[in-house]
Amino acid sequence: MTTEDEPQSRLAATAERLAFFPARVAARASRDQLAATPDDVLVPELVRLIDRAFATTLPEEVVQAAVRHKIADRIVAELAASGALDRAVEEVLNSDQMRRVIGEVIASPEVRAAMTEQATGFAEEVVGGVRRRAVSLDDRADRRQRGAPSPFAGVATRVLALGFDAALIFVGVLSLTAFVALISSLVGTLRPQWLVGVLVGSGWTLIAATYFVLFWSSAGQTPGMRLLRLRLRGRNGAPPSLGRAILRFFGTVISIIPLFAGYLPVLFDDRRRGLPDFLAGTVVVYEDPKST
């Protein structure tokens, strides 16, 4: 091609582009409109169609047809027959995610609070049943004819409270004995044997005396009495003083030794007092007679 032909070919190409420019613009505009059509036209139309379909009875008919033909049962049966259902359940249960979820649920404060509440409610129900039966036995064992329920605690409730307190004291003495045995194994056995017996007996008496005197004089009830909702009152209605609590403890020991004979007056006295109560000037009453 000569140099004279180059300007002519360049002019021809430019003229061609100018000639096809309107066509290209029209094609591009059409393509953009077609690309926007699904968002602007098709999607809203599909939404309207689905909305009209759900407004009719179609959903109910689909569900009724599925129930009538037992679609769900057939799907489950097919999965069970093929073993896919068992494998899926096993995989879910054995997955780390499921273990983590179960651990989080069990350790959650809500679950722990619910379990504590259930346990507390069950224990309170059991104790309440024992308490009601004990109060009923108090009235049956009472040898005096009463027109109304007595506010004073009888033999059954007091014996149960004393038994619970004795169990706590036994646990304390057992713990102390185990501690002494441990020390003896390290430093050698204490001699003579009679001295060991005296120390053990003294320790039992000291622990029991401290237990009863401390609770009587401070709170007016021991843990066993609190469980049975009993309260010890002095002459002024308050818990007995330290001196009277000590006197009452010795009266309790004296009453227990001859086969609990010191508590026989409870069956006949109008205020259900035993020998310890006569000595210390105390009475044992139900803490809440209406709920007992």
What does the pLDDT read at residue 292?
46
pLDDT in tens, 162-180: 999 999 999 988 887 787 7
pLDDT in tens, 93-125: 777 777 777 777 777 787 677 777 777 777 788
What does the pLDDT read at residue 34?
46
pLDDT in tens, 195-224: 666 666 677 888 999 999 999 999 999 999
On average, the pLDDT of the chain sits at 78
**Which percentage of the chain shows pLDDT scores above 90?**
30
DSSP string, the chain: --TTHHHHHHHHHHHHHHHHHHHHHHHHHHHHHHHHHIIIIIHHHHHHHHHHHHHTTHHHHHHHHHHHTTHHHHHHHHHHHHTHHHHHHHHHHHSHHHHHHHHHHHHSHHHHHHHHHHHHHHHHHHHHHHHHHHHHHHHHH--S--SS--SB--HHHHHHHHHHHHHHHHHHHHHHHHHHHHHHHHH---S-HHHHHHHHHHHHHHHHHHHHHHHHHHTSS-HHHHHTTEEEE-TTSSPPPHHHHHHHHHHHHHHHTTTTGGGGGGGTSTT---HHHHHHT-EEEES-TTT-
